[in-house]
Amino acid sequence: MIGERFRNIFGWVDVWTVLLYLAIVAAGALSILAATYKEDSLAPFALSHFYMKQLVWIGIAWVAALVVLLLDKRFIHMLAYPAYFAGLALLLAALLFGKEVNGAKAWFEFGSFRVQPAEFVKIATALALARVMSSYSFSISRSGDLFKVAAVICAPLFIIVLQNDTGSGIVLCSFLFVLYREGLNKWLCIPILLVAGLFISSFLLSPAVLLVALIVICTLSEAMMSGEWRSRMVYLAALALGSLLFFWTAHFIAPGAVSFYAALLTVTLLSFIGIAVYAYRANIRSVFLPVGLFVGAMIFLPTTDYIFDSVLRQHQRDRILSFLGIISDPRGIDYNVNQSKIAIGSGGWLGKGLLRGTQIKYGFVPERHTDFIFCTVGEEWGFVGAAAVLVLLCLLILRLMRMGEYQQEPFGRIYCYCVASILLFHVLVNVGMTIGMMPVMGIPLPFMSYGGSSLIAFTILLFIAVRLDASSRQFPLEKKSSL
């Protein structure tokens, strides 16, 4: 019976996806060996070494992958909600009773082993999101259904942020790509992305410049969406100039007469009233979208200081300011990134060779086997090796997207895109922070960074998609045999 099930399932498994997975895991194991191997070690095969522990985690991950492949697709579908609520319970338990590591209270400790529930909650959230969005009555254009989706994503995100593990929580925001693929209106996606842009801009630009930029952006967006763009452009430009004139009069010419935020709110109110009257008389509705963006931005901007000062921790604030170039601390907050860039740059085109990386071997790069594993690849394998690893990761992500497009049911398609989104976010942020193009968030490189929780979780996450894809490939054969 089991042998027959093996033949039925493994005959339809996507071999290319499995081979890509094995190649990436092998590259990760070699990188961890290079990052942690000590030549003077008397027992190179002892389990106390990180690379030997990783081999144990790889074996456990392969067993988990085999178990997932043996599961019935209907069981995976039924497991979505129970796994999701169990994941929320584990997150709360970690928050209340877990062990604090690097400032994040997000771990369970069992002797010498640690487990991070947030890694597995990504799987449960992806399953729950696929279950919600694949229900028969779901419509992504209906506000009630969008609220359900937001609740599924935000509940674990909120708990993870409370654990002070913001990097792991932000990963869940990658599901925005899934929503867009499933038909979410782009004008609902843009405001979400603009929140991050406004947050960053509030540190780099003065309030007056931000106000001008927002008015210009909203004016241009309304002009581009409308048919009679010239007349609306002139009208909105005139309104913007009038609002700016009031703002400068109240805030600069007569300082202290009107508070800064009172002036902003007055500008917003005048703009809203003027455009609303114009839209009502011209019988147009498209104008209300840029108005909504403008009002939302004006409400959000005063909260950025509170979020930065009260919600984020000191090391998170320092990382953001360092990334934006506002502060510089080469021996402190910038040390990891600077050393990582030195290690990657020293690798040249072909690298220094396995176990020959001087920056890595002598410990100049902290966390070189976990969050900064990519700098080990860059130094020892060079540009060619680093590019090869990125190609393998990109091919795996593209393969998952292809698997999603070939799914015959919405549940499988949505889940495959969830997995692709999570992997893409991890790769972009992890590689980006090692080369100084992204702020340091402390999230692992999939299948390569040291750690049992992340490797096993990513393996289960991937092979659930492989199992759903195998079932989809097997379906025509089952349908034919039933006839």
* Whole-structure pTM value: 0.81
Q: Is 226 helix (H, G, I), strand (E, B) or coil?
A: coil
d(CA 402, CA 409): 14
Type and span of the H or E element at 38 = none
CA of 189: how far to CAs of 195, 220, 262, in Å?
10, 18, 29
**Which residues, including other chains, have CB under 8 Å from residue 174's CB and lie 6 or more apart?**
421, 422, 424, 425
The conformation of residue 142, written as its DSSP 8-state character, comes to S
Contacts of 80 (CB under 8 A, 6+ apart): 124, 127, 128, 130, 131
Nearest alpha-carbon partner for 172 in 190, 188, 150 = 150
- Could you tell me the CA-to-CA distances from 255 to 209, 241, 258 in Å, in that order? 17, 20, 7
Bridge partners, 105 (sequence order) = 100
- Number of residues assigned to the chain: 483
**Could you give the C-alpha distances from 36 to 31, 44, 107, 435, 458, in angstroms and in order?**
9, 11, 23, 21, 22
Question: How many angstroms separate the CA atoms of 460 and 150, rounded?
Answer: 24
Per-residue pLDDT tens listing for the chain (483 residues) = 455 455 555 667 888 999 999 999 999 999 999 888 877 776 778 777 888 899 999 999 999 999 999 888 889 999 999 999 999 999 999 988 888 877 778 888 877 778 889 999 999 999 999 999 998 888 888 878 888 998 999 999 989 888 888 788 888 989 988 988 888 876 666 666 677 677 777 666 666 566 666 666 665 555 555 555 555 555 555 555 555 655 565 555 555 555 555 655 566 566 666 666 766 666 665 566 666 666 666 667 667 777 777 767 776 777 777 766 666 666 667 778 888 888 888 888 888 888 888 888 777 888 888 888 999 999 999 999 999 999 999 999 999 999 999 888 899 999 999 999 999 999 999 999 888 888 888 789 999 999 888 999 999 999 999 999 988 776 654 443 332
Angle (CA) 242-248-254 rounded to 5° is: 130
